[in-house]
């Protein structure tokens, strides 16, 4: 079982995380982790803080001679902006921002100041999650499993959807070369114009991104208990990202408007062979409208997760609220923020999907070390045909 905890505030000295359950022997590549941290900081529409922070991870424990030891891995990321805040005498934040955790958090914890809530509820915490997710990606890569994401919509401007039956790697490459992480440059240009207009208007924008995982074996997750269903675990992980308000596996809402005969992925066989008295064949699908999961279990096809991000609740244009000291009507005060963080949220989404899949893979294979996991993987691949390309033996 994998699990992690994060701690730290938006303007505290550090973000920290403790990761438990990684197998021993996994090579820790700090530059790979730092690369994902840099990706999270980028994207058209990001705010001024990203010009201050230079996120880099420090691995503090659980690593021996460059590899995991099986002990908990502790890591931290410095908040460089802390130096600009530690000596400031900030007045209480008593007017909660609609759409933020301010009001509910003040009531829940009995605060007369929203700052303790906003500091922890801030999406700055997701930097630690990206670092944790990068560890999960390193584990998945040992089994030829890859996770990537791209933006498909901002402010109602929709990108041309890639052909789901074509290789996803070129789509990832196009997204990485784009400052909106959008593989459709024509749509991206219109998205930039929308972001510029929102900035001028003192507003913020949301959007939709897609995360795809490839190379997965059949059999991750389970149908036998609600909390073990892989789609449920992925949905919970994605909904835990700040500002994410909707998740679907595959084109779920589109599927809901179609009859079943146009939704379910028909099954075909190929490569039928005979081995002594044993018949071997491989199951294939020509479509992937299930998004790679059936009955809470991975079916060998790419897993496709879509997430909808609401506009960031901090806007330069004030919104009506109430001063919690007096109960009188008041207008919100602007706190430095992004105009659009959908490209950054895509990187966080990759991290959370990778984490859930790494946990499900370890659950399936077992093992205290990477070498033991690989032995189990080869055994299961031979006996149960857990084939990364998506085929399964009948």
Q: Which of 8, 2, 20 is nearest to 77 (CA)?
A: 8
The one-digit pLDDT tens for each residue of the chain (394 residues) are: 899 999 999 989 999 999 999 999 999 999 999 999 999 998 998 876 556 668 999 999 999 999 999 999 999 999 988 867 666 778 899 999 999 999 999 999 999 999 999 999 999 999 999 999 999 999 999 999 999 999 999 999 999 877 766 789 999 999 999 999 999 999 999 999 999 999 999 999 999 999 999 999 999 999 999 999 999 999 999 999 999 999 999 999 999 999 999 999 999 877 666 666 666 667 788 899 999 999 999 999 999 999 999 999 888 999 999 999 999 999 998 877 899 999 999 999 999 999 999 999 999 999 999 999 999 998 765 444 434 333 333 3
Q: What is the pLDDT of residue 52?
A: 63
Look up residue 65 and give its two tokens.
């001679």
Q: Considering Cα of 108, then 235, then 172, then 363, what sign does the dihedral take?
A: positive
Per-residue model confidence as pLDDT tens digits over 197-232: 999 999 999 999 999 999 999 999 999 999 999 999
Domains and CATH numbers, the chain: 94-384 (3.60.150.10)
Q: What is the pLDDT of residue 165?
A: 66
CB 229 within 8 A of CB 222: yes
Per-residue model confidence as pLDDT tens digits over 227-246: 999 999 999 999 999 999 99
Task: Kindly report the pTM of this predicted structure.
Answer: 0.92
Q: Give the H or E element holding residue 281.
A: strand 278-285
CB-neighbour burial class of residue 370 (10 A; exposed 0-12, middle 13-18, buried 19+): buried
* Cα–Cα dist 171/20, whole Å: 33
* Cα–Cα dist 299/363, whole Å: 16
Mean residue pLDDT of the chain comes to 90
Q: Considering Cα of 194, then 195, then 198, then 203, what sign does the dihedral take?
A: positive
Q: Which of 134, 126, 130 is nearest to 10 (CA)?
A: 126
Partners of residue 273 on adjacent β-strands: 280
Q: What is the pLDDT of residue 90?
A: 83
* Cα–Cα dist 25/305, whole Å: 30
Q: Which of 50, 138, 111, 73 is nearest to 102 (CA)?
A: 111
């Amino acid at each position: 079982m994998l699990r992690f905890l994060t701690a730290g505030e938006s303007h505290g000295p550090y973000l920290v995380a403790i990761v438990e359950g990684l197998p021993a022997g996994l090579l820790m590549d700090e530059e790979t982790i730092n690369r994902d941290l840099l990706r999270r900081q980028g994207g058209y529409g990001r705010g001024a803080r990203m010009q201050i922070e230079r996120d880099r991870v420090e691995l503090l424990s659980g690593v021996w001679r460059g590899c995991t030891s099986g002990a908990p891995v502790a890591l931290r990321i410095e908040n460089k902006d802390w130096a600009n805040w530690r000596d400031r005498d900030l007045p209480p934040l008593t007017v909660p921002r609609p759409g933020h955790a301010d009001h509910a958090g003040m009531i829940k914890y009995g605060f007369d100041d929203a700052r303790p809530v906003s500091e922890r509820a801030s999406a700055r915490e997701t930097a630690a999650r990206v670092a944790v997710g990068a560890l999960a990606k390193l584990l998945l890569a040992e089994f030829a499993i890859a996770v990537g994401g791209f933006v498909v919509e901002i402010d109602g401007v929709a990108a041309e959807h890639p052909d789901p039956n074509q290789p996803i790697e070129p789509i990832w490459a196009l997204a990485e070369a784009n400052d909106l992480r959008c593989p459709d440059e024509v749509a991206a240009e219109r998205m930039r114009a929308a972001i510029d207009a929102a900035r001028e208007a003192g507003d913020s924008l949301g959007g939709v991104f897609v995360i795809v995982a490839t190379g997965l074996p059949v059999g991750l997750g389970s149908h036998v208990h609600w909390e073990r269903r892989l789609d449920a675990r992925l949905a919970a992980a994605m909904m835990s990202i700040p500002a994410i308000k909707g998740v679907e596996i595959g084109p779920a809402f589109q599927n809901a408007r179609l009859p079943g005969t146009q939704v379910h992925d028909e099954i075909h066989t190929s490569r039928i062979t005979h081995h002594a008295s044993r018949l071997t064949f491989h199951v294939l699908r020509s479509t992937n409208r299930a998004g790679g999961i059936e009955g809470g279990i991975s079916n060998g096809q790419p897993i496709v997760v879509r997430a909808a991000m609401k506009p960031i609740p901090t806007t330069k244009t004030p919104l009506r609220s109430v001063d919690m000291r007096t109960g009188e009507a008041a207008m919100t005060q602007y706190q430095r923020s992004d105009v659009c963080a959908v490209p950054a949220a895509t990187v966080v989404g990759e991290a959370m999907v990778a984490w859930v899949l790494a946990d499900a893979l370890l659950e399936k294979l077992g093992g205290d070390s990477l070498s033991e996991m690989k032995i189990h993987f080869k055994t299961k691949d031979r006996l149960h045909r857990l084939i990364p390309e998506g085929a399964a033996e009948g």
